[in-house]
Structures are given as C-alpha cells and as structure tokens.
Chain A
C-alpha cells in the first residue's frame, strides 16, 4: 500500500514539473522509471534496482539525473550567502522570471534585491521599476550602493504594466525589470518569462502571498514569511532543483 502511494506521489510531482515547464520531460520520465524500479523490487538496493536496459537509457545525454550533476544556471548573487547556497547557480537566475510573494509591505522584500541591483548598476546595466506601489526612495537606493543614473521608473496603469515590463525585458536594453502585479494570469506570467529569456534580463515580480497556490511558469518563486521576530524566505519553486520548500533567514 505504501509502495503505491510513493509511486503516485512521484508521478504527481513529476507531472507538476512537466506542467510548470521547469524540467525537461526526459528527466521526469527517467525519474518515474527509477521510482518504478525501486518499488518493483523493494528488497534490492537502489543500485541493483536499475536493470541494464534502464542503465543504458540513463546514459543518454539528453537525460539529466539529479544525483549525477548540477544543471548549468547562469545567475547573479543575491548577496545573501544562505540563500545563494540553496539556489542552483548561486543566485537570481539570469534571463528568467523570479517571483517574490509577500503578505505585508515593509518586511524587506525590496531590500532583498538591492545587492543584485547595486551590482547591475555598477556594471552600467539599467534597472527599471515598472509602476511601483510607492516612491522608490532615492537616498535609500543610493545608500544601498545603487547608481541612480541607471535607474528608471515607468509609470503605467495596472493593465499596461505587464506590457511595459515585457517590452523592457524583450528589448535587451535593461539589466533588471521589477514589477508589481496584484492580478496576474498564467499567460501574462509566461509572456514575461519568455521576454526575460529572449532579452537575457532579470525579471522580478512582486505578488501577493495568496498567489502561492496558483501555478506559475517563473523559474524561481520565493515567499516571505514574516512574524513578530523574524522574516524567512521560503523557496517555493526553483528551476533546476528538486529540493523546494527550503528556507533561509532574511532578517
């Protein structure tokens, strides 16, 4: 009975992986096969469980196994060592959408980006705030090391925000684009993800915590949990890593 549950969980996990576009289908398939083998012969160890045919299959270059190697992810350090260690590539994935989900203003959500933004402006890359909910306070940005000459704010309505962000990302003229979305459907997010890919830019999207349960094509999803004493970062989803639901302390 427990065998069956194990298998079905594995299937569901890999299914969600497929629908989220974050792993190659072959990975998921090989993973499921391996799970099947394990459950078919529970008396044998994991190494013997794989029959020669399956071993052959897994030698295929198109199949990446988690145990054997780490995928290549180009990334920019978040400035938090504890978080970097848990992210493949060691930071914010370049050319991808990163979502930050939070419930309350003022828990350090924007500060989380500051080391990366400072690094980008130092490299003379443009940082664009699209329709921020408050005024990005210039003295505080400067104090974080952000070069204001490379910071641009775009004022747009909620409906045009997504369009503006997409234009900026796709153009390739921006290092990072930061947006805020109360309501976002899957298609919009997918468009942003594709735009970030084609423009090789960092896309940051701040969304309310209630969006955590909704599917998202973002490469990285972080949720900030705040209580009276501390703020934790939870990795909800992370492309290139199976270990989600890990945490790091923000403050």
Chain B
C-alpha cells in the first residue's frame, strides 16, 4: 500500500477567512476568554511581526488593521470533509487525519491515473482551483507519510528502507509525537527521530510511556495501524447563496449547472444514481419554492440532470425574487449497469410489471391499478368486478356492450330503430336489489349503438346502460 498525505497546514485560516481576506494580514485566536492567544497568523501578518502565542492586544499593536477571528473548529472539520469527498474520487481508502490532513491510499490506483507524477500534478491542479496548496508526501505507511509531509513536500518513497532513512533524519519537533514526549526527548538531548529509534525499547517505554512507543512503532510499521475510513454521505445537499436578488429564471441556470455538476461528481463517487431530487429556490421573506424532480430511471450524468431540471425550472413562474438555491437528493439508488442481451434488443430501462405497478401505485394511490374479472350474476352491473382472480365463466353469447355505464341514465331522445331485443333480465329478488328489465340494442340518430332497457312491461322510459363502442 502507498499512502499519500495531503497536509493543509493553513486549513484553520482557510476555514475562517476567504481568499481575498487572506491576502491581507489576518490571524486566528483561540483559548479561554481571559487568556486568548494567536494560534495562526498568515505570512502577511507574520511579516508585520505578529507571532503565534501573542495575546490579541499585542498582535493588534504590531498591526492595527490586523483581522482577528476566533478559531472555528467546526468550519475546519466541514472543510476537511468536503476535501475528503473530493479525494474520494481518487481512492476508496480515504482517511481524515484531523485536524488538518487527509490520507489517501494511492497504490492501488496509481496505474489508473498514469503514475504518481501525473496524479500529483492533477491533485495539485484541482486543489489550486479551490485555493488549497497542501504539502504532499507518499510513503508505504500512513503515519510516516503524515510525518514526512511536514518537512518534505512532494517526496515519494515507495520502499520501507528509504522511508526509515528519511524518518531518521526528521527532527523530533516534527515527529508528530505528543508535545510532552517531544519535550522530554528534547531535554534528554535527542534531536532526530533516528536517535530515538536507536534507544532500547524497554527504557523508552518506561520513560516516555507506552503511547509514545506505540506511535514510534506505527511510524516504522512494527504494528499495523487501523485507520477509520471516510464514508461519503448518504444524501446530497448543496446550497448556493446569491449576492443579488434574482427575478427571472435565466440567471439561475449558471448556478444550476454548477449544482448539477457537483451532484454528478457526488453520484459518481458513490457509484450510484439519483431518481428523485428537489430544487429549492429560497426567497427572502416568503416560503421557498420547491420543485420535485422525478426520473424514470436513476441517472448521474451532469448534462442530463441539468437539462431535466432546467426544463422544470423554465416552467416556474417566480413569484418572488430568489436569494438562494439548493439542490437536495435523498433517494440515491445504486445505478444499475446497462447490460444488453446480445440478441434481444430490450433496453436497460425496461421494468417488470410488478415494478411498474409499484411505481404507478406510489404515484396514483394504492387502489389505482386494478384487474378486471367477470362475475356470475345475471344483473349487468354485477356481472363484473375489480378482481385479480379471474373466474372461468361461460362466454356470454347474447350481445353485451364494451362500455358499461356506472349508473344507468335516461336515454336522450328516442331510439331510431331497435336492432335486437328484448332480452328479459330478471334477477336479484333474494338480495333486495331486484331487477326486472327488458334490454334492447338500439341505434340512435347519430348512428351510435346503445344498450338500453325499459322497465319490464313498459313501452317508454328508455334507460341507457352501455355503449357498443
């Protein structure tokens, strides 16, 4: 295994200040309210004499316009997570080395990316786009990579022996050991890790404690290190806030394209697709406009998602100016690879009937999809029902219409002529729904054929019960 360590030494500053602010002198303070100290200062601030461990007042005395802010650990963590999400594109083994480093296993995919020099250039280029400039080091062990990154930016060591040699040269101040252990070793007169490695184990354990021994063992690979791996989030939620109020949809398309691009990257990293997502248009004083987007099959192509969402967005009449936009996706099914049969031209989006019925029911309601069946009853309105189990019933030989009216209606006008009938249907005296009717097939003046009945024995009062459609 080969681990690349990306050390973002100015991550706390990046998390608290944006790019343009960082060009000016700025510093972060931290600590209890009464004893706050400068913990980070950028190069511009250091050039003006601001040093780490200055109290805020001293720092301001060095430079009156110094931008001072409290350190925001939560923002740092968020930033590191977003960088991990980005790094997940290059390897499935990404680990957060908090507070300010990422470890990526690159050995397995080195060939895919065309070797380390190519991959390194790519990592640096992509990070430069988000204004990050980390120190990079590659070593066979994650702990060693982390330590080497502090001093040897850009080093690539694939073997254990040269790695140990490089580690031996590292000053103990940058060894990543605990501060008290470093102080202790320094006072003993040790200056490099190599000198520490040479000490007898038992003595070292007794003086510096088992934790230090363990850390040294991890550096050298004497014990296996178990790293918690980064897991990409289960849902996508990205938001863009606008500086101006947007009154019409065309200006929304540019940020929408960016959101779709981010969603596509997110989906590609998860090797999944999106089937349902939601575009939220935020208004200043009103409830947000929400657009639900449903797709027939999971998709993850940025251009396609953009086109689909754009077509929805175009139809929206914006009632209020938009001040922000968010894209949410929770339903992220795995993308089924499109496999095609060699001989059968069926497409990948084909669904089985159960799956289709399920989707229809989900959309239209549980009772919306029904099967038809015949029923053994002479009364026409009872000779059929919605049912899954079809009974075998002798086929009706007398004329029956393809359309049945749910309720018989008075026939408009009188029939032009009678084509067949009467057929007496008399049934149901036992269940209180007694029917005694004479059915006729009649033709109207418009040439329609109707199934109409007269009450038994009557000669007027035509009731329409069906159409021979």
Q: Mark A123-166, 1 if CB is under 8 A from B, else 0.
A: 00010000011111111111110001101111110001001100
- In the bound complex, what is the Cα–Cα distance between A103 and B364 (angstroms)? 29
- In the bound complex, what is the Cα–Cα distance between A122 and B374 (angstroms)? 18
Are B349 and A170 in contact, with the CB atoms below 8 A? yes
| Distance (whole angstroms) from the CB of A134 to the closest CB of chain B | 4
Count A-B pairs with CB separation below 8 Å.
168
| Distance (whole angstroms) from the CB of A68 to the closest CB of chain B | 28
Q: Which residues of B contact A148 (CB under 8 A)?
A: 371-374, 390
Asked if A75 lies at the interface with its beta carbon under 8 angstroms from chain B, I say no
Q: Which residues of A contact B393 (CB under 8 A)?
A: 139, 142
- Residues of A in contact (CB 8 Å), total 50
Are B351 and A136 in contact, with the CB atoms below 8 A? no
Asked if A33 lies at the interface with its beta carbon under 8 angstroms from chain B, I say no
Closest B residue to A195 by beta carbon equals B296
Q: Mark B4-46, 1 if CB is under 8 A from A, else 0.
A: 0000000000000000000000000000000000000000000
- In the bound complex, what is the Cα–Cα distance between A217 and B374 (angstroms)? 37
Are A149 and B390 in contact, with the CB atoms below 8 A? yes
Closest B residue to A224 by beta carbon equals B447
Closest A residue to B469 by beta carbon equals A110
Whether A108 contacts B373 in the complex (CB less than 8 A), given A227-B447, A229-B447, comes out as: no
Whether A153 contacts B372 in the complex (CB less than 8 A), given A134-B467, A138-B384, A139-B400, comes out as: yes
- In the bound complex, what is the Cα–Cα distance between A241 and B296 (angstroms)? 34
Are B373 and A138 in contact, with the CB atoms below 8 A? yes
Asked if B352 lies at the interface with its beta carbon under 8 angstroms from chain A, I say yes
Q: Which residues of A contact B203 (CB under 8 A)?
A: none
Selected from B356, B357, B384, the residue in CB contact (under 8 A) with A139 is B384
Whether A155 contacts B401 in the complex (CB less than 8 A), given A106-B449, A137-B384, comes out as: no
Asked if A104 lies at the interface with its beta carbon under 8 angstroms from chain B, I say yes
Are A167 and B350 in contact, with the CB atoms below 8 A? no
Selected from A155, A173, A227, A230, the residue in CB contact (under 8 A) with B370 is A155
Q: Which residues of A contact B374 (CB under 8 A)?
A: 138-139, 142, 148
Asked if B143 lies at the interface with its beta carbon under 8 angstroms from chain A, I say no
- In the bound complex, what is the Cα–Cα distance between A149 and B450 (angstroms)? 27
Asked if A189 lies at the interface with its beta carbon under 8 angstroms from chain B, I say no
Are B396 and A142 in contact, with the CB atoms below 8 A? yes
Are B356 and A111 in contact, with the CB atoms below 8 A? no
Q: Mark B448-469, 1 if CB is under 8 A from A, else 0.
A: 1110000000000000001111
Q: Which of B182-190, B222-230, B402-410 lies at the binding interface?
A: B402-410
Asked if A172 lies at the interface with its beta carbon under 8 angstroms from chain B, I say yes
- In the bound complex, what is the Cα–Cα distance between A136 and B390 (angstroms)? 15
User: Binding site of A, secondary structure by majority: helix, strand, loop or mixed?
Assistant: mixed
Are B372 and A110 in contact, with the CB atoms below 8 A? no
Are A137 and B356 in contact, with the CB atoms below 8 A? no
Closest A residue to B371 by beta carbon equals A152
- In the bound complex, what is the Cα–Cα distance between A134 and B451 (angstroms)? 13
Whether A154 contacts B368 in the complex (CB less than 8 A), given A107-B447, A137-B466, comes out as: yes
- In the bound complex, what is the Cα–Cα distance between A221 and B303 (angstroms)? 35
- In the bound complex, what is the Cα–Cα distance between A109 and B467 (angstroms)? 10
Asked if B359 lies at the interface with its beta carbon under 8 angstroms from chain A, I say yes
Are A108 and B349 in contact, with the CB atoms below 8 A? no
Q: Mark B339-353, 1 if CB is under 8 A from A, else 0.
A: 000000011011111
Asked if A168 lies at the interface with its beta carbon under 8 angstroms from chain B, I say yes
Asked if A198 lies at the interface with its beta carbon under 8 angstroms from chain B, I say yes
A105, A143, A155, A199: which has the most chain B beta carbons within 10 Å? A105
Q: Which residues of B contact A132 (CB under 8 A)?
A: 403
- In the bound complex, what is the Cα–Cα distance between A138 and B401 (angstroms)? 9
Are B403 and A134 in contact, with the CB atoms below 8 A? yes
A139, A167, A226: which has the most chain B beta carbons within 10 Å? A139
Asked if B363 lies at the interface with its beta carbon under 8 angstroms from chain A, I say yes
Q: Which residues of B contact A155 (CB under 8 A)?
A: 364, 367-368, 370
- In the bound complex, what is the Cα–Cα distance between A132 and B368 (angstroms)? 12
Are A140 and B364 in contact, with the CB atoms below 8 A? no
Closest B residue to A229 by beta carbon equals B447
- In the bound complex, what is the Cα–Cα distance between A135 and B382 (angstroms)? 12
Selected from B356, B396, B449, B450, the residue in CB contact (under 8 A) with A140 is B396
Asked if A34 lies at the interface with its beta carbon under 8 angstroms from chain B, I say no
| Distance (whole angstroms) from the CB of B111 to the closest CB of chain A | 39
Asked if A19 lies at the interface with its beta carbon under 8 angstroms from chain B, I say no
Asked if B235 lies at the interface with its beta carbon under 8 angstroms from chain A, I say no
Top 9 A-B residue pairs of the complex, sorted by shortest distance between their CB atoms: A106-B467, A138-B384, A106-B448, A226-B447, A172-B350, A134-B403, A110-B469, A140-B400, A171-B351
